[in-house]
């Protein structure tokens, strides 16, 4: 069986021979041969079984659902007459395909099996002169892949050095036949433009909405004020876009945020004007909602990460909330980030762009610094009126605090909690979930390590039991190698352990926990202690009376380029749930007050922090000013890859260096080595303007390795999030 060649193959120019006077004999012979081939009649498309073909456009160009780079191209198939009507561009099809080369011999096909794919286009002829395999089946006549979505997916694949098939797996949800048979509702007429509402709190807020309602494409980085009104502000931006007769797309980090914007949109516009796309809805319901958007029945979409590819018609606005949240980074190949995908959509569709959040990432600051987007901020008077009072507890305060030495709750935090409980609930943020804490020396805070494997020591629930977190050995006679002390203290105490300690300190107050196993959405406005891990903080009715941000140094000490930015973002997210200072709202952060993220929290100045971080990264050549890629695998595989890849002249290779070996039974981060394997990682950095060349070179080298089929695999990731 033959299945055609890549669409990029071009034919020779038939006029070449006329201007070849005086050419060398070898060159003249080559020119004549190319002209002869160009003028030779092409064979009509035929199948190896000789089935009747479609009378018009009998060739189908198909993208097979094979997410490997050396097959990242289109293949030609013949269209049988019986499938002519259904085989339209954008439909799902099934075709014969195999890993090896396919030929027709004596009427039999060698190798190959049925595989899914998308029909890209119909053509009158194929570049391949041999017999074409026929389309095996049109899975559904529903045209799920539009030209716009295909172009977006190709742009994302090129940016992240990935395959088009992998991106389309993220962009097009799995099919549900029952959902396809269900008719979509008729589209509603555009609503009336909404009033500015809470957008008047921002200096250019009302003008931003007016521009959207008038059909404009404003681009803004929005630093939202603390409090719960951000969901209403997003809803009004969507409503203004719908009023112009265009569509809108909002991407949020989790289902709780989606539910808040969904409720705000329903309250503002009523039912039926927007679709909600989340994984929690289930495959059939989600696909039905996606089809309603694809068919044009619904013009607005609110969803989580996968909604970044939603096929909204006449797109007028793309909006992203809290772009620093890890949930916006797709863990599956090619691992795109929602922010970058929406930036591509804004550029390709020439639509409005809104990047919002209580915090501000370095990437957001860069959009403003380059002039691509305008800042959308409130005056300092508005910020002071909406923000709570922030107080700090540093190392010097802890050293002088008898209560802090005896327990992990400093006196200032204990007093703030006691006062807050008189007026409402108090939020307590801890950096990690669960019960088991890591241990350190109580005198000098040196991390406690196992004598056998140097793994971290942990305290378990059973009293007096200290075990290694890597090898599991029990440690009975530990002493500090630095100062000789025999006393241990918890480095970071989990949410459950903190809840127990607070329950003993405030015996008459109910204690609630919110974390990965059980995340609370809301809590009543009555006095209670709410212990939460970052990102799982529930919203309190009327706001929290106080918040305690414990173990801040643990987040700041992470060996990560984004440690300070991420700690500030998590603190701001919790502090934004607290009542304003005018209503008695107080936040206590246990971290050194001289550190830049802590100072930014005290002043409530996330934009200033991001601008300073951006300036420092520009000096050091760190992302996002530069573009960076990570290549990881065994040492031999990484070295071989670096020898063969044709990098741009401006590229700089850093490393390779060994990656930490993850402990067995621990959650594995994307890109981390499998448990027990020793990997290395090299970072490749290029200056601005060379990102596309870097991605193209990495993709070509990876495709060549896969085509050869020899050697160990390496993992390539553009814009790795965990640069130390």
Measured distance CA(298)–CA(561) in Å, rounded: 41
Residue 155: inside a domain: no
pLDDT at position 552 is 81
Measured distance CA(262)–CA(302) in Å, rounded: 7
Measured distance CA(510)–CA(513) in Å, rounded: 10
pLDDT at position 161 is 94
353 and 433 part of one domain: no
pLDDT at position 561 is 79
Measured distance CA(181)–CA(142) in Å, rounded: 10
Q: Which of 568, 603, 638 is the last residue of a domain?
A: 603
pLDDT at position 239 is 97
Measured distance CA(393)–CA(471) in Å, rounded: 36
Write out residues in the chain with pLDDT < 70, as ranges.
Answer: 1-51, 98-112, 394-408, 432-438, 443-445, 453-455, 460-464, 469-472, 489-501, 557, 559, 661-676, 710-711, 724
Does residue 145 contact residue 172 with C-beta atoms inside 8 Å?
Answer: yes
7 and 101 part of one domain: yes
Length of the chain (residues): 724
Measured distance CA(182)–CA(292) in Å, rounded: 10
Residue 657: inside a domain: yes
Residue 264: inside a domain: yes
Measured distance CA(722)–CA(632) in Å, rounded: 13
536 and 406 part of one domain: yes
Output the DSSP codes for 641-669. Answer: HHHH----TT-EEEEEEEPPPPPTTSPPP
Residue 106 backbone zone (phi > 0: left; psi -120 to 50: alpha; other: beta): left
* Strand order, beta sheet including 59-64: 75-78, 59-64, 113-123, 92-97, 137-140
408 and 367 part of one domain: no
Output the DSSP codes for 548-604. Answer: EE--HHHHHTSSSTTHHHHHHHHHHHHHTTBPPGGGT-EEEEES-TTSHHHHHHHHT
> E-strand spans in 278-329?
300-303, 315-321
> What's 413's domain CATH number?
3.40.50.300
224 and 350 part of one domain: yes
72 and 220 part of one domain: no
134 and 217 part of one domain: no
Does residue 335 contact residue 160 with C-beta atoms inside 8 Å?
Answer: yes
Strands 137-140 and 92-97: antiparallel
Tokens of 715: 């993992």
Its sign, for the CA torsion 463, 468, 471, 477, is negative
Long-range contacts, stretch 415-420, CB < 8 angstroms, 24+ apart? 416/391, 416/546, 416/548, 416/586, 416/588, 417/502, 417/506, 417/529, 417/546, 417/548, 418/506, 419/545, 419/546, 419/586, 420/544, 420/545, 420/546, 420/584, 420/586
pLDDT at position 518 is 85
Strands 438-441 and 586-590: unpaired
Q: Which of 588, 603, 618 is the last residue of a domain?
A: 603
393 and 542 part of one domain: yes
CA atoms within 13 A on the CB side of 3: 25
Residue 592: inside a domain: yes
Does residue 225 contact residue 382 with C-beta atoms inside 8 Å?
Answer: yes
Query: Torsion over CA of 538, 544, 546 and 549, rounded to 10 degrees?
Result: 20
**Cα-Cα end-to-end distance for the chain:** 50
393 and 375 part of one domain: no
pLDDT at position 722 is 76
682 and 582 part of one domain: no
Task: Note down the domain range covering 647.
Answer: 627-718
Tokens of 155: 């742009």
55 and 137 part of one domain: yes
pLDDT at position 454 is 67
Strands 104-105 and 92-97: unpaired
pLDDT at position 533 is 87
Tens-digit pLDDT profile for residues 184-201: 888 899 999 999 999 999
Widest distance between CA atoms in the chain: 102
Strands 247-251 and 315-321: parallel
Helix, strand, coil percentages in the chain from 3-state DSSP, rounded to 5:
35, 20, 45
- By CB atoms closer than 10 A (0-12, 13-18, 19+), residue 148 is middle
> What's 670's domain CATH number?
3.30.70
pLDDT at position 225 is 97
Measured distance CA(82)–CA(91) in Å, rounded: 16
Residue 444: inside a domain: no
Q: Which of 540, 568, 603 is the last residue of a domain?
A: 603
Residue 514: inside a domain: yes
397 and 374 part of one domain: no
CA atoms within 13 A on the CB side of 145: 30
Residue 674: inside a domain: yes
Does residue 702 contact residue 646 with C-beta atoms inside 8 Å?
Answer: no
- 317 beta partners: 248, 352
In which element (H, E) is residue 693 found? helix 691-708
Tens-digit pLDDT profile for residues 358-411: 999 999 999 999 999 999 999 999 999 999 999 998 655 555 555 554 445 788
Shortest CA distance to 450 belongs to which of 460, 438, 461, 462? 438
The per-residue b/e assignment along 164-184, b for 16 or more CB within 10 angstroms, e otherwise, is: bbbbbbbbbbebbeebeeeeb
| Number of domain units in the chain | 4
- Listed in sequence order, the residues at least 6 apart from 711 whose beta carbon sits closer than 8 Å to its beta carbon are 637, 640, 705
Residue 137 dihedral angles phi and psi, to the nearest 5°: -165, 145
Residue 131: inside a domain: yes
């Amino acid at each position: 069986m033959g299945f055609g060649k890549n669409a990029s193959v071009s034919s020779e120019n038939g006029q070449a021979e006329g201007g070849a006077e005086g050419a060398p004999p070898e060159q003249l012979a080559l020119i004549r041969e190319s002209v002869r081939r160009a003028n030779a009649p092409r064979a009509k498309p035929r199948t190896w079984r000789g089935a009747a073909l479609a009378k018009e456009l009998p060739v189908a160009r198909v993208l097979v659902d094979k997410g490997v780079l050396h097959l990242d191209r289109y293949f030609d198939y013949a269209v049988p007459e019986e499938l002519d009507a259904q085989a339209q561009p954008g439909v799902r099809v099934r075709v014969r395909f195999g890993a090896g080369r396919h030929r027709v011999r004596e009427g039999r096909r060698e190798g190959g099996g049925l595989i899914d794919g998308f029909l890209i286009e119909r053509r009158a002829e194929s570049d391949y002169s041999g017999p074409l395999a026929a389309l095996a089946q049109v899975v559904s006549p529903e045209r799920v892949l539009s030209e716009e979505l295909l172009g977006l997916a190709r742009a994302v694949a090129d940016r992240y050095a990935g395959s088009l098939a992998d991106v389309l797996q993220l962009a097009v949800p799995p099919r549900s036949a029952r959902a396809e048979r269900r008719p979509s509702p008729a589209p509603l007429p555009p609503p009336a433009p909404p009033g500015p509402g809470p957008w008047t709190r921002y200096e250019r807020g009302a003008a931003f909405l007016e521009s959207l309602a008038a059909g404009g494409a404003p681009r803004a980085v929005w630093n939202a004020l603390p409090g719960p009104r951000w969901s209403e502000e997003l809803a009004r931006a969507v409503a203004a876009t719908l009023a112009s007769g265009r569509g809108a797309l909002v991407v949020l980090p989790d289902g709780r945020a989606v539910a808040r914007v969904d409720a705000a949109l329903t309250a503002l516009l009523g039912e039926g004007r927007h679709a909600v796309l989340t994984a929690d809805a289930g495959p059939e319901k989600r696909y039905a909602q996606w089809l309603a958007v694809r068919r044009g029945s619904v013009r607005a979409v609110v969803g989580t990460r996968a909604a970044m590819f939603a096929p909204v018609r006449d797109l007028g606005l793309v909006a992203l909330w809290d772009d620093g949240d890890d949930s916006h980074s797709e863990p599956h190949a090619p691992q795109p980030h929602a922010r970058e995908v929406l930036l591509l959509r804004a550029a390709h569709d020439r639509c409005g762009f809104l990047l919002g959040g209580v915090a501000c990432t370095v990437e957001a600051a860069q959009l403003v610094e380059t002039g691509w987007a305008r800042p959308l901020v409130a005056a300092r008077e508005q910020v002071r009126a909406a923000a709570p009072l922030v107080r700090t507890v540093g190392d010097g305060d802890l050293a002088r605090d008898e209560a802090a030495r005896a327990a992990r709750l400093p006196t200032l935090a204990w007093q703030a909690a006691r006062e807050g409980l008189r007026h409402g609930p108090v939020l307590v943020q801890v950096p990690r979930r669960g019960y088991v804490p890591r241990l350190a020396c109580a005198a000098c805070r040196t991390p406690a390590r196992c004598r056998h494997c140097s793994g971290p020591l942990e305290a378990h629930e059973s009293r007096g039991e200290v075990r290694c977190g890597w090898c599991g050995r029990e440690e009975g006679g530990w002493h500090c190698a630095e100062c000789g002390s025999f006393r241990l203290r918890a480095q970071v105490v989990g949410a459950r352990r903190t809840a127990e300690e607070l329950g003993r300190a405030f015996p008459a107050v109910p204690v609630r926990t919110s974390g990965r196993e059980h995340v609370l959405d809301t809590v009543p406005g009555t006095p209670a202690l709410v212990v939460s891990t970052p990102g799982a903080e529930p919203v309190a009715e009327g706001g929290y009376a106080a918040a305690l941000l414990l173990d801040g140094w643990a987040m700041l000490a992470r060996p990560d380029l984004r440690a300070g930015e991420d700690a500030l973002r998590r603190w701001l997210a919790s502090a934004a749930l607290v009542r304003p200072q005018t209503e008695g709202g107080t936040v206590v952060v246990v971290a050194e007050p001289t550190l830049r993220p802590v100072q930014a929290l005290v002043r409530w100045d996330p934009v200033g922090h991001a601008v300073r971080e951006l300036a420092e990264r520009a000096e050091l050549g760190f992302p996002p000013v530069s573009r960076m890629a990570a290549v990881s695998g065994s040492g031999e595989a990484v070295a071989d890859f670096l020898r063969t890849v044709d990098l741009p002249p401006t590229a700089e290779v850093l490393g390779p260096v060994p990656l930490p070996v993850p402990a067995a039974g621990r959650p594995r981060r994307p890109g981390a080595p499998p448990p027990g394997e020793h990997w290395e990682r090299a970072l490749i950095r290029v200056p601005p303007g060379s990102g596309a060349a870097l991605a193209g070179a990495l993709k070509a080298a990876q495709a060549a390795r896969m085509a050869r089929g020899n050697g160990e695999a390496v993992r390539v990731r553009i814009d790795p999030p965990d640069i130390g």
